[in-house]
Structure 1
Amino acid sequence: MRVVDARLAPRVLDGARRGLVLALTDDDGRVGLGEATPLPGFSPDTADEGQRALAELPGALGAIDLPAEGAATALAIQRALAPLSSRLRDLPAARFALETALLDLVSQRLGLSMSACLGGHGRYAEVQVNGLLTTSAALPEMLERARALAARGIRAIKVKLRSRGEEGFTRDLEALRALRREHPGVELRLDANAAWSLGEARRRLASLAPLGPRFVEQPVAPELLHHLGAQDVPWAADESLALEGMPERLLEAEGCAAFILKPAMLGLLGAHALASRAQARGLDAVVTHLFDGPIALAASCELALALPRPPLACGLDAHAGLEAWPELRIPQLREGGLIAASEQPGLGVRPWTD
């Protein structure tokens, strides 16, 4: 298979954020889609850097040897991208777009869903999504939002702890107690967004233990997480996974319960490989978006369906940022807080015509 044409469509979103849609055409006329939408202040790369790379690199791709079966697809794409690795090393969003578009093409040619190409046949059919709340909202608003999530059938809720200082943590703790009283059976996850010191994390995790959270994401700064150790509440790694050498440390770290995988930060194939390693060590995996657009969200859903064993409920629910994009059906998102593979070969998303 050869890529004979590459087109890039920039999109201006809300504020300073920009998205890039990559469309690759193969020698049979099929079109594979990818998306790069770096999040300013969070992503290590920018939309300008991604645009320059994606305008140049697809033309440097050689022939891609099609695998005989879907399970070898990732290796075929890795080999095809190997000559471009130095250019893509610090551009995870661009890598995500290029890997997604190539995997979409190969999956279409093989007549398989993207998840089947990544993970092979015989995978699980569905993955639940988790809901998202934040303590920056007033308590009545937060509880009303939780009721709406429960009414949709969502059984896992992640709460971002936005308050700062001891008084702020006390307020967050009271809000979480109210949430737990009203929803005693929900799976509760918390996210400290790397805001605590090691000492604060140890004290606060002990205070949170009576609420029974599944884990607390990224309690401390990315470079410190492997020093936290086993605590009263398990913890999960998010931003730390993007640091060189840190995933290896965290695979061995006591207290680490899960890896939170953002393909927009790790690349599609990198996130799949890291999730596979984590699950092999007995850790849980959660796939989540970076408030991406519809193509990247669809690709992240396919990734969640392609892991060696089912992930926990994933952060792949529709989000408000999608309103900045043209309306596009994401076939993986289903009613009842579920995602399932597209019923079409490849990603199953077709581009809009504006």
Structure 2
Amino acid sequence: MVNTVQLQFSYIKRTLVFRFDAGTSRGVLNTRDVYWVKTFDPKNPEISGWGEAAPLVELSPDFREDFEPVLGKILQEMNQEIWESDPQAVLLKLKALIPFELPSIRFGLETAILDWLNGGEKRIFLNDFFDALKPIPINGLIWMGDREFMLEQIDQKLSEGFICIKMKIGAIDFGQEIALLDYIRSRFSPEKITLRLDANGAFSPNDALEKLKKLAEFHVQSIEQPIPAGNWAEMKKLCELTPLAIALDEELIGIKDKEQLLEQIQPQHIILKPTLIGGILETQAWIQLAQERNIGWWMTSALESNIGLNAISQLASIYDSSIPQGLGTGKLYHNNLESPLEVRSGFIRYNPEIVWESPE
């Protein structure tokens, strides 16, 4: 017999403050609004589940001026629903209830209810990251900025023991970016350091291939989203001719027909950001389709706080991938929630000796 319960939902808003000017090809970020979703059973209020709804500026389908009232209205509606104790039933119900166009809200509710089902201990799934304290390899992220700032970050990541470096490019002069890659390669061979690049769609389809040829000289493992999303014909051609592997990122956002995209473009890799692509169930669907086509994938956080990062880390852990994931964003903010998540020597770890700070 399946148990059912009527849960109550609320949220807390926090404006996270970056420790530095976080540069992307779409501009510089200084703050980030996140909404922590709380759920509990009124008959047993001491156990709470927490999730995170955090639309990313100018990128999330649900980044909109009325996001907060929309979130509040949906949570009021969720207060009227009856929930089964089966996790898969919860995920399927939320897929039916929360529009595809509100991916961060769906992800926040998925995480909150699954956390509650698991006792409110920030355990979202059965997974080795949380249960066996197995660390996950991650890449060290180099943010865009002037040459000196990027060099400083590179030196810091290398000294911290990262063996996979991801560098955002496309914001400064291409020649300076080439010089930075040359600096890395002059010190570390491809066997020592894996290089990933993220262009965030900054290249023009007209000169993208020539730039990829130049970048390939530095033995780059992959480049994310070299040209803007939506140019499927040009992206397909790039994936056919590229001298280095292409990973689709923004291209996946807002896409309902996953098979059509993968069949038409045939990328080497895809990047999965649950907050942006529809949450846990949608992420798992992308993984299944990619694996069926021998397309590589890895998971990346989208500047969430530690609540969202914890959920994504546990989701990634289910698949036990040895490929470095993009989960090193926990130290970006001055006022992130204190948590057991630790980044050391190129891995993210769950340290149960550190107590979660209460969001309230």
Q: TM-score range by the shorter chain?
A: 0.7 to 0.9
Mapped contact 1:268–1:303 kept (Cα < 8 A):
no
Take 2:170 and 2:200, find their aligned partners in 1: how far apart are those partners?
8
Higher strand share: 2
Take 1:124 and 1:92, find their aligned partners in 2: how far apart are those partners?
29
Which residue among 55, 69, 91 is the counterpart of 1:38?
Answer: 55
SS in 2 for 1:323: coil
Q: Kindly state the Cα deviation for residue 216 of structure 1 after the two structures are TM-superposed.
A: 0.7
Q: Where has structure 1 moved over 6 Å in runs of 4 or more?
A: 119-124
Take 1:36 and 1:47, find their aligned partners in 2: how far apart are those partners?
13
Q: Kindly state the Cα deviation for residue 46 of structure 1 after the two structures are TM-superposed.
A: 3.0
Paired residue for 1:272? Answer: 284
Q: Kindly state the Cα deviation for residue 349 of structure 1 after the two structures are TM-superposed.
A: 4.7
Q: Kindly state the Cα deviation for residue 112 of structure 1 after the two structures are TM-superposed.
A: 9.6
Paired residue for 1:19? Answer: 34
1:203 aligns with 2:210: yes
Which residue among 328, 338, 353 is the counterpart of 1:317?
Answer: 328
- Over residues 212-267 of structure 1, what are the superposed CA-to-partner deviations in whole Å (9 max), with x where a residue is unaligned? 11111001111123342321111000000014256424433566221111111013
The amino acid across from 1:169 in the alignment is: F
Mapped contact 1:127–1:313 kept (Cα < 8 A):
yes
Take 1:82 and 1:179, find their aligned partners in 2: how far apart are those partners?
44
Take 1:3 and 1:39, find their aligned partners in 2: how far apart are those partners?
30
Show structure 1 runs of 5+ residues with no match: 68-72
- Over residues 306-327 of structure 1, what are the superposed CA-to-partner deviations in whole Å (9 max), with x where a residue is unaligned? 23x40621221135542134x4
Summarize the Cα distance change of 1:319–1:349 in structure 2 as closer, same or farther, 3 Å threshold: closer
1:125 aligns with 2:134: yes
Q: Kindly state the Cα deviation for residue 339 of structure 1 after the two structures are TM-superposed.
A: 2.5
Paired residue for 1:70? Answer: none
Q: Kindly state the Cα deviation for residue 211 of structure 1 after the two structures are TM-superposed.
A: 0.9
Q: Kindly state the Cα deviation for residue 350 of structure 1 after the two structures are TM-superposed.
A: 5.5
Paired residue for 1:90? Answer: 101
**Percent of residue pairs identical:** 25
Which residue among 116, 120, 136 is the counterpart of 2:126?
Answer: 116
Take 2:188 and 2:200, find their aligned partners in 1: how far apart are those partners?
24
Mapped contact 2:170–2:203 kept (Cα < 8 A):
no
Paired residue for 2:8? Answer: 5
Take 1:232 and 1:323, find their aligned partners in 2: how far apart are those partners?
40
> May I ask how many residue pairs the two structures share in their alignment?
333
Summarize the Cα distance change of 1:49–1:90 in structure 2 as closer, same or farther, 3 Å threshold: farther
- Cα RMSD, aligned residues only: 3.1
TM superposition score normalised by structure 2: 0.81
Paired residue for 1:257? Answer: 268
Take 1:267 and 1:311, find their aligned partners in 2: how far apart are those partners?
24
Summarize the Cα distance change of 1:227–1:77 in structure 2 as closer, same or farther, 3 Å threshold: farther
Paired residue for 1:66? Answer: 85
Q: Kindly state the Cα deviation for residue 351 of structure 1 after the two structures are TM-superposed.
A: 2.2
Take 2:357 and 2:318, find their aligned partners in 1: how far apart are those partners?
21
Q: Kindly state the Cα deviation for residue 98 of structure 1 after the two structures are TM-superposed.
A: 1.0
Which residue among 197, 200, 203 is the counterpart of 1:193?
Answer: 200
TM superposition score normalised by structure 1: 0.82
Which residue among 216, 222, 231 is the counterpart of 2:229?
Answer: 222
Mapped contact 2:305–2:330 kept (Cα < 8 A):
no
Take 1:2 and 1:267, find their aligned partners in 2: how far apart are those partners?
24
Summarize the Cα distance change of 1:279–1:311 in structure 2 as closer, same or farther, 3 Å threshold: farther
Summarize the Cα distance change of 1:108–1:31 in structure 2 as closer, same or farther, 3 Å threshold: same
SS in 2 for 1:211: coil
Mapped contact 1:36–1:50 kept (Cα < 8 A):
no
Q: Kindly state the Cα deviation for residue 19 of structure 1 after the two structures are TM-superposed.
A: 1.8
- Over residues 29-72 of structure 1, what are the superposed CA-to-partner deviations in whole Å (9 max), with x where a residue is unaligned? 321101122222222223654422332323434322223xxxxx
